[in-house]
Amino acid sequence: MKLIFAGIVAGLMATTAAKADEMVFTSWGGTTQEAQTKSWAEPFTAGSGIKVLQDGPTDYGKLKAMVDAKNVTWDVVDVEMDFAIKAAKDGLLEPIDFAVVPKDDLDPRFSNENAVGSFYYSFVLAWNKGAVSGEPASWADMFDTKKFPGKRTFYKWSAPGVIEIALLADGVPADKLYPLDLDRAFKKLDTIKSDIVWWGGGAESQQLIASGEAAFGQLWNGRVFALEKDGADVGVSWNQNLTAADVLVVPKGAKNKDAAMKFLAAATSPTGQAKFAEASGYAPINTKAKAEMPADVVKGLPDAHVDGQINLDLNYWAEHRDEIATRWYAWQAK
């Protein structure tokens, strides 16, 4: 019996091994993954002959299930950085082979032993010009239902962003945000809870704002960029924009590790990063990328808005992820 089983396993392995010139890239779908495909995967395939299959959306439960079951079908995954730090601690990630992936030009804020930056982004305040009279100028305005009536939309999942926004709106200075005062944040959020519509994914946030279903909200800057490009009538405020990053990781036991490392090298290269930034409006994590980008695109990136910009503390989040999440979902369900 055991022999037969081993035989089957070996047989299955043989079929995957035969596909060594393929790998699977998983990201969040929508306009972001399209930009990643065009800027990274297609040129990479053209240069290396390694075919990149697209999958998605990223699902942390699925990633853990694959690693636990030792049947990993994803080779490179785009994840939020706080998750990557936590996942590395839990032993879910392969170390990055920096002999293959050049490290020197990577922004050190967004790379570590188990992850390289994918892009970095800002949460910005965006609104539908037809649904809002006046211009909301700060996160505090999102909590002022008298001055700015209407539904507001926030990111649904427990992640860096909304807690900080509530604290900033409540008057906490940017340099005193951490450690997060959760009681105070939830108390502030309680004041507008019945006016909140949650968005669970980037496309949903775009749909809510573009249709006016929500008058304004906290959006990823790249999603607002895409809305503007489509000619939607949206306004955006970069005041107190909150930066966080996505990173690229290789799940432990990925079958095409070598191809994955080569892909990471291409994705984080100055050219790959420049092209992606141009297509998505997100900022490059390679410090040499901006030299390859048109000036007007550079102007629209998060790092053109450093005035009043706040870096979300992703290490703090990685450490307190579970604790905050438990309270977050308990508060939401109330």
Partner 1 sequence: MSVEAQQGIATPRIPAGLGGLLPALILIGLFFVVPVLALLLRSVTDPAPGLQNYAALLGDGTYARVFFNTFLVAFVVTIVTVLVAFPVAWMLAIMPPAFASILFGIIILSMWTNLLTRTYAWMVLLQRTGVINRALMGAGIIDQPLPLINNLTGVTIGMVYIMLPFMILPLVGTLRAIDPMTLRAAALCGAGPLAAFRRILLPLSLPGIAAGGLMVFVMSLGYFVTPALLGGTSNMMLAEMIAQMIQSLLNWGLGSAAAFILLVVTMALYALQLRLVGARRRAGGA
Binding site for partner 1 (CB under 8 A): 59-62, 64, 90, 151, 156-158, 193, 197-198, 211-213, 322, 325-326, 329-330, 332-334
Nearest approach, Cβ of 89 to partner 1 (angstroms)? 12
- Alpha-carbon Rg of the chain, whole angstroms? 21
Nearest approach, Cβ of 24 to partner 1 (angstroms)? 19
**Residue number, 12 or 330, with CB nearest to partner 1:** 330
Nearest approach, Cβ of 37 to partner 1 (angstroms)? 24
Torsion, CA 87, CA 88, CA 94, CA 99, rounded to 10: 140
User: Which tokens in the block code for residue 144?
Assistant: 């002022």
Q: Put residue 313 in one of left, alpha, beta given phi > 0 → left and psi -120 to 50 → alpha.
A: beta
Q: How far does Cα 218 stand from its chain's mean position?
A: 14
Nearest approach, Cβ of 162 to partner 1 (angstroms)? 12
- What H or E segment, with its residue span, contains residue 280? helix 270-280
Nearest approach, Cβ of 330 to partner 1 (angstroms)? 4
**Residue number, 87 or 293, with CB nearest to partner 1:** 87
Nearest approach, Cβ of 60 to partner 1 (angstroms)? 6
Q: SS3 for 55-82, per residue?
A: ECCCCHHHHHHHHHCCCCCCCEEEEEHH
**Residue number, 19 or 193, with CB nearest to partner 1:** 193
Nearest approach, Cβ of 124 to partner 1 (angstroms)? 22
Nearest approach, Cβ of 333 to partner 1 (angstroms)? 5
Q: Which residue has the tokens 């979300």?
A: 312
**Residue number, 59 or 181, with CB nearest to partner 1:** 59
Nearest to 222 by CA among 152, 302, 286, 293: 302
Other CB atoms within 10 Å distance of the CB of residue 287: 14
Torsion, CA 303, CA 79, CA 115, CA 53, rounded to 10: -110
SS3 for 139? helix
Nearest to 270 by CA among 114, 105, 44: 105
**Residue number, 316 or 331, with CB nearest to partner 1:** 331
**Residue number, 39 or 128, with CB nearest to partner 1:** 128
Please state, in angstroms and as integers, the Cα–Cα distance from residue 128 to each residue in 125, 198, 256, 326, following that order: 11, 16, 44, 32
**Residue number, 189 or 259, with CB nearest to partner 1:** 189
- What H or E segment, with its residue span, contains residue 227? helix 221-229
**Residue number, 149 or 308, with CB nearest to partner 1:** 149
Other CB atoms within 10 Å distance of the CB of residue 197: 16
Other CB atoms within 10 Å distance of the CB of residue 244: 23
